[in-house]
């Protein structure tokens, strides 16, 4: 039986690093019976984004719609039908926006004996919000404040309800949920462990640290400048932004928006859904997901520096 591992993110849980590593180690994984599908990704390490987008009926305004959706579905379909591996991996953080019933229908039509495992990583909502906001300002021209973003635009953080939809279509027994630990530098090993015990000792080629530069968080000085520039039209915007990022490199401060008390308050909004999520999908209930990059003391130290420089009013 072919086991298809559908890695659906969540975004800001190391997905870019994982996808680049999988692409860089595709041949070695194949020798271990694991096929990171070449269709759509094309070996570039950018994930199966067009395939995931092909199931999104109403993409958000910042998202470029899927290119040739029927073609990419057919390519994925054909590769799954002809793989000789016992495991196949499809990865995209765009899947949470997809019509899950349509995704399930696609796999039901596969004429090979298979099962689908949904692989999902949750993250502490305070750091998730800051990380997502950072990327949205840098890449999607968001101009609203962080507090406005949290109140009006932050979505997909009630992980129990997010996963309930996938459970209805794929079954609880086929959901593999984990907590993303932002304090660990290693993100590939936990992912491989979620795929198969047989990969526990697999060691592949390292991916350069800057290979996912578009996804790297930028500091508060650069982020503040870019957010202001998002309000005006610029020629060659990304070149300008890269010069700002490079200019502040080494002298910037982390782009934090919450002191320890505010971070705790934000997490408390999701306490009940976290308990529901962890009890149902991790086997024990807890309200705080943990796995944060910074301690309360580290967070408050950075926030004090940002306040002193007038970069935040928190």
Inter-residue long-range contacts of 51-55, CB under 8 Å, 24+ positions, other chains counted: 51/76, 51/90, 51/92, 52/92, 52/93, 52/94, 52/95, 52/97, 52/98, 53/92, 53/94, 55/95, 55/98, 55/99, 55/102, 55/103, 55/106
Angle between helices 159-170 and 100-108 (to 10 degrees): 30
| Residue 174 counted as domain residue | no
Write out pLDDT tens, residues 114-151.
999 999 999 999 999 999 999 999 988 999 999 999 99
- Residue 30: pLDDT band (50, 70, 90) is very high
Q: 279 lies in which domain range?
A: 218-308
Q: Which of 88, 166, 90, 152 is nearest to 122 (CA)?
A: 166
User: Are 279 and 200 in a shared domain?
Assistant: no
Q: How many CA atoms lie within 13 A of 262 on its CB side?
A: 15
User: Are 192 and 253 in a shared domain?
Assistant: no
| Residue 164 counted as domain residue | no
As a whole number, mean pLDDT of residues 154-161 equals 96
User: Are 187 and 301 in a shared domain?
Assistant: no
Across the chain, mean pLDDT equals 94
Q: What is the dihedral of CA 293, 221, 300, 142, to 10 degrees?
A: -70
| Residue 61 counted as domain residue | yes
Alpha helices (runs of H) in the chain, residue ranges in sequence order: 15-24, 26-31, 49-53, 69-82, 100-108, 125-140, 146-152, 159-170, 188-195, 220-229, 237-248, 260-268, 271-281, 296-308
* Structure-token pair, residue 87: 């495991």
CA distance 242 to 248: 10
User: Are 42 and 8 in a shared domain?
Assistant: yes
As a whole number, mean pLDDT of residues 161-177 equals 98
Burial tier of 191 (Cβ tally within 10 Å: 0-12, 13-18, 19+): buried
* Structure-token pair, residue 100: 């899950």
User: Are 82 and 224 in a shared domain?
Assistant: no
pLDDT of residue 208: 62
Say if strands 87-91 and 2-7 run parallel, antiparallel, or are unpaired. Answer: parallel
Burial tier of 106 (Cβ tally within 10 Å: 0-12, 13-18, 19+): middle
User: Are 53 and 107 in a shared domain?
Assistant: yes
- The proportion of the chain whose per-residue pLDDT surpasses 70, expressed as a percent, equals 97
User: Are 202 and 62 in a shared domain?
Assistant: yes
| Residue 159 counted as domain residue | no
pLDDT of residue 274: 98
Write out pLDDT tens, residues 197-229.
888 788 887 776 555 555 688 999 999 999 999
pLDDT of residue 211: 52
- Residue 46: pLDDT band (50, 70, 90) is very high
Instruction: Say whether pLDDT at 105 is over 60.
Output: yes
Write out pLDDT tens, residues 240-265.
999 999 999 999 999 999 999 999 99
User: Are 193 and 229 in a shared domain?
Assistant: no
| Residue 262 counted as domain residue | yes
Q: Is 174 helix (H, G, I), strand (E, B) or coil?
A: helix
User: Are 119 and 240 in a shared domain?
Assistant: no
User: Are 55 and 82 in a shared domain?
Assistant: yes
CA terminus-to-terminus distance, the chain? 54
User: Are 223 and 272 in a shared domain?
Assistant: yes
Write out pLDDT tens, residues 59-77.
988 888 898 999 999 999 9
- Are 296 and 260 spatial neighbours (Cβ–Cβ below 8 Å)? yes
As a whole number, mean pLDDT of residues 274-284 equals 98
| Residue 53 counted as domain residue | yes
User: What would the DSSP string read from start to end of 8-20?
Assistant: ---TTSSHHHHHH
What total number of domains does the chain contain?
Answer: 2
Give 95's DSSP letter. G
User: Are 37 and 71 in a shared domain?
Assistant: yes
| Residue 198 counted as domain residue | yes
| Residue 42 counted as domain residue | yes
pLDDT of residue 210: 56
Angle between helices 15-24 and 188-195 (to 10 degrees): 70
Domain with 115 in it: what CATH number? Answer: 3.40.50
- Are 125 and 267 spatial neighbours (Cβ–Cβ below 8 Å)? yes
């Amino acid at each position: 039986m072919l086991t298809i591992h559908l890695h659906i993110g969540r975004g800001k849980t190391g997905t870019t690093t994982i996808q680049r590593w999988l692409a860089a180690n595709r041949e070695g994984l194949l020798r271990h019976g694991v096929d990171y599908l070449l269709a759509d990704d094309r070996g570039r390490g950018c994930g199966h984004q067009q395939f995931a987008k092909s199931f999104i009926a109403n993409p958000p305004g910042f998202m470029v719609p899927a290119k040739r959706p029927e073609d990419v579905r057919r390519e994925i379909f054909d590769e799954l039908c002809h793989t000789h591996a016992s495991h196949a991996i499809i990865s995209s953080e765009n899947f949470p926006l997809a019509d899950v019933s349509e995704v399930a229908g696609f796999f039901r039509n596969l004429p090979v004996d298979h099962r689908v495992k949904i692989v999902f990583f949750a993250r502490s909502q305070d750091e998730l919000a800051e990380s997502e906001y950072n990327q949205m300002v840098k890449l999607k021209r968001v101009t609203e404040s962080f507090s406005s973003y949290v109140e009006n635009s932050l979505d997909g953080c009630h992980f129990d309800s997010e996963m309930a939809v996938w459970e209805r279509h794929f079954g609880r027994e086929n959901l593999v949920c984990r907590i993303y630990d932002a304090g660990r530098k290693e993100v590939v090993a936990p992912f491989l462990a979620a795929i198969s015990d047989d990969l526990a000792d697999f060691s592949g080629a390292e991916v350069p640290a800057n290979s996912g530069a578009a996804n790297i968080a930028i500091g508060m000085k650069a982020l503040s400048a870019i957010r202001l520039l998002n309000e005006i039209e610029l020629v060659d915007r990304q070149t300008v932004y890269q010069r700002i990022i490079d200019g502040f490199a080494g002298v910037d401060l982390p782009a934090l928006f919450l002191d320890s008390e505010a971070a705790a308050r934000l997490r408390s909004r999701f306490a009940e859904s976290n308990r529901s999520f962890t009890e149902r999908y991790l086997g024990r209930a807890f309200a705080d997901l943990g796995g944060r990059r910074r301690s309360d003391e580290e967070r408050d130290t950075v926030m004090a520096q940002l306040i002193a420089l007038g970069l935040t009013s928190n």
